[in-house]
Amino acid sequence: MLFFALLACRPPEAPDNFEDMMGYGLVHFADEDDDALQALADKLIPWVESNLETTEEGYEIAPLSEAELTEAGIDASAEEAILGVAVSVSLGVSLDDVTAGLTYPNLDEIFSNYVSFTRTPLDDRDCFLGGDCTAHSVTDDLHSSVGLGIEFESTYGVDFRRVPLDDGGALLLRRQVGTDPVDFNVDFLAVYQQYGLDICYEAGDGSTRRVQALWADGEVLNADTAEGLYLNLSINTLKKGNADLETWLLEN
């Protein structure tokens, strides 16, 4: 009986390779307890800190499967492969500042590529910022420009979660769920669903490391357009957004 009790209390096993870590985080984002996300942090943080050059450049990660969406509590089926990319960045501000920025109601004041933006809160942001609540949820309606004359409109459910770590620090996680097709102003791109995950942690020098993943179930409809166009646009958009966020936080 003691043997089985020890097995039952064994902490969850997180992936060892970065390609699967962010998908694991998306799957376990809404777990009732913090065990899986804490186990993920134990592997993710050392790996990212040892591979900063690679992750800051942009990194292709494992596609999401329909089984992972189901495990994450997301009711959606894939049209094509749900391909993923990830980037990391060091932001020269505290984790509390990043939390305030990412939960800010008017993100079009922060991100220069936002043409228009409406955020509808589903609970109390101040409770989350004050530390009395461990989660915060909103709905975002976004019209954005991603370069090359490409614009899109989309709606996301966005959830924030704070997870304490054994060393006294914390993770800030942000999950974006977009199960409706993206409306593009061009006819050669189609995105049927899109998901995002941020994992932010204190870097130890007053800065914050932000690791972002973005998955898209889509296709290039024009044979003359490079197949990697959407993923490259995604990486560039994430990088530009981080620069905008850091600038705004340092000025405000």
Q: Give the C-alpha separation, 16 to 20, whole Å.
A: 8
Strand 150-164 relative to strand 189-202, pairing: unpaired
From first to last of the 252 residues of the chain, give the pLDDT tens digit: 444 434 444 556 789 999 999 999 999 999 999 999 999 999 999 999 999 999 999 988 999 999 999 999 999 988 878 999 999 999 999 999 999 999 999 999 999 999 999 999 999 999 999 999 999 999 999 999 987 788 999 999 999 999 999 988 999 999 999 999 999 999 888 889 999 999 999 998 889 999 999 999 988 776 555 556 667 778 888 999 999 999 999 999
**3-state class (DSSP) for residue 42:** helix
Q: Calculate the alpha carbon distances from 43 to 29, 37, 38, 46, 124 in Å.
A: 16, 10, 9, 6, 32
Strand 114-121 relative to strand 135-147, pairing: antiparallel
Read off the pTM: 0.92
First to last CA, the chain: 57
Residue 196 and residue 214 in contact, taking contact as beta carbons nearer than 8 Å: yes
Domain spanning 14-251, CATH class: alpha beta
The 10s digit of each residue's pLDDT in 122-152 is: 999 999 999 999 999 999 999 999 877 889 9
Q: What is the CA radius of gyration of the chain?
A: 18
Q: What is the mean pLDDT of the chain?
A: 90
